[in-house]
Structure 1
Amino acid sequence: MMKRSYATPPGGLPPQSDSPTARTGQARFTEAWAVIPRNTMRDIVTSALPYWDDARAWIIARPLSGFAETFAQYIVELAPGGGSEWPEPDPEAEGVIFMVDGAMTLSLGDDDFVLEPGSIAYLPPGARYTLHNHAGPEARFHWIRKAYEPVDGLPVPDFFISHDDDVDPIEMPETDGRWATTRFVDPEDMRHDMHVNIVTIQPGGVIPFAETHVMEHGLYVLEGRGVYYLNGEWVEVEAGDFMWLRAFCPQACYAVGDRPFRYLLYKDVNRHPKLRLR
């Protein structure tokens, strides 16, 4: 299995000699997009969660007026021995876990699964599972949660576990492999109302037009560097940075540097738009 390196929050606290106008100054929150740089993910902005032991979370997206509407995204850190017997409090929520550092045991029914960097797990609504770090050093993972939207006649998706290295990226047409997407779910499977993919853009590769579409996005840069076009502005991003894009926010990008630009991508899919606001 290929060994990959995935970005994680730095934690800690910058020294007093650091300038707040450095990379931290690139943190942006607008009506159509937001950028939360890696350097802002420090100890003092973590959250504690009920029924989680020896754990903390950077909550980088949550349903909020003028921000994310369809999902919440966490980066969870479990200390050795940490975990939860009741991680998901909402019986209508589905979840995706993507492991980026250390190892963790996911238990579902009578089965135990060890998640290592690159492992991804889909957890359907109502799944009763536990998470524990039995392996030693800190375990870090992304946890994406969404209220599942059922459709009459369609069953709820099944639980599954996969890995970044086990799924062949699909090249986008006419790109010579410079732009590819690792899809963990069949796009034609209408049971799923969200996709969590990995997009890889090779050095010099581009998304050559301003995508403007109905899906909301959460993008966490796992590796490399890129320049992203966001609703009229170009923003430099690198491993460990997070972006949120509102539905219809124009977007394009190009990779810079000498290594692939890879990001974990959330989007809501396969459902009619809601015609009534709550």
Structure 2
Amino acid sequence: MRIGLLGTGPWAGVTHGPGLAEHPEVELVGVWGRRPEAAAELATTLRTRPYDTPEALFADCEAVAFALPPDVQAPLAVRAAEAGCHLLLEKPVATTVDGARAVAEAVAAHDRASVVFCTFRFAPETSSWVAAQSGTEGWLTGSVQAFAALFGGPEEPESATPWRRERGALWDIGPHALSLLLPPLGDVDLASIRAARGPDDMVHAVLRHASGATSTLTLSLSMPPQAAGFQAELRGAAGVSTLPESSGGTPLRPFQRAVDALIQAANGGQPHPCDARFGLRVTEILAAIESALETSPSGRNA
């Protein structure tokens, strides 16, 4: 598949670019970025060519992969689908419901394949866990506690990008949490969501699912390094099931598995569960949590 890359930041340089360039079933057509000099530099590294405009890249590709901030990604994704490209999207698809809905509607209207790259759903250990728990009945509750040391340390990593600083853990880690909880517990009743703020960008949320189960999220990008970690568990008639620890390594292989899923869907296979429609629902849930934060006493005083 002929795939183009949009974006030139850290994620594009260490994951998307190498993942596409090294994939045996992909021809990396080229790179477009908002900074032409960065696009030229990354294209040289990846042994491909820079493009001056997104439309020129769309015209040469069957699909495009996005490594851009969500609200830059969304309108470009609509234009790419309209140009006939399949979409490999970053999470969240957008931070507004209207933006995410426009992407999902463009994908449907132009009959394009789409995949949203939620890392846990494409890493072998964790994707197998999600599949196993989704086939198990009787879950009563679930929880995700996700604590990252992205902000506030002596040296912030390159991934501490402006949109993450602006939107915080809810929008950066929230899609990962929901990608683990929605398959086994079902959709979320938006009207029942309750939420509260903690220190810095910490968010607590309580969700009620279509199955009748409830779940809790605690998310932060501002933890001290010694307190960072990620835990997810489900409890119910089957007992307790805990998300297995990752074997480590980079997101490169999970990203290439997401590329595999896009190629399969584009070639007439089943749409992947993490598609643009899923991305829209995640944005709707996160927006509802954000609204609940604004109306809660802790949210008003934050």
TM bucket, shorter chain = under 0.3
TM-score (norm 2): 0.26
Where is the strand percentage greater, Structure 1 or Structure 2?
Answer: 1
Where is the helix percentage greater, Structure 1 or Structure 2?
Answer: 2
TM-score (norm 1): 0.27
